[in-house]
Amino acid sequence: MSHPTAPQLLEAVRLFLKEADGALSGRLAFHAKVAANALAIVGRELAQDPDRAEAAALAPYGGASALCERLRSGLLDPEDKALLAAIRTAVLARLAVDNPRYASFSRLQDREIS
């Protein structure tokens, strides 16, 4: 018998908090909701690995730090479509983890850079 995976453990605690929420009120209910949301973010981060997605998107520019430095120094054109697409990919990877229900998230995913 194997042990539960990290996502399975997160889901079990999230379900417990959801069930306990009905028995809680006030400050405790609020903190239970905050904890459940934090667990959901951790679960999405484990599943989607936004650090890897960001690193891959920005690798052609030397990573996030090098990209920022090259933009500040004027070595990169901030209007370059390939650069904007790479930044967009990195940002969308983060949004997918942090807040996938963000009202404009699906529109941002589908929108072309002009």
End-to-end CA distance of the chain: 54
pLDDT at 13 exceeding the cut of 80: yes
Distance, CA of 97 to CA of 63 (rounded, Å): 20
SS (H, E, C) 56-87: HHHHHHCHHHHHHHHHHCCCCCCCCHHHHHHH
- Checking if the pLDDT of 71 tops 80, the result is yes
Say yes or no to pLDDT of 4 above 60: yes
For range 13-39, the mean pLDDT = 89
* pLDDT at 106 exceeding the cut of 80: no
With 80 as the cut, is the pLDDT of residue 103 above it? no
pLDDT (average), residues 62-88 = 94
Instruction: Identify the pLDDT of residue 1.
Output: 59
Q: Which whole number is the average pLDDT over 77-81?
A: 93
pLDDT in tens, 34-53: 998 899 889 999 988 999 99
- Mean pLDDT for all residues in the chain: 87
What are the sequence ranges of the domains in the chain?
Answer: 1-48, 49-114
Residues 6+ apart with CB under 8 A from 76: 61, 67, 70, 83
Say which residues have a Cβ less than 8 Å from residue 87's Cβ, sequence separation at least 6: 57, 58, 67
Q: What average pLDDT does this structure show over 84-91?
A: 91
The predicted model scores a pTM of 0.70
Nearest Cα to Cα of residue 40 among 81, 94, 99, 89: 99
Sign of the Cα torsion 102, 25, 17, 15 reads negative
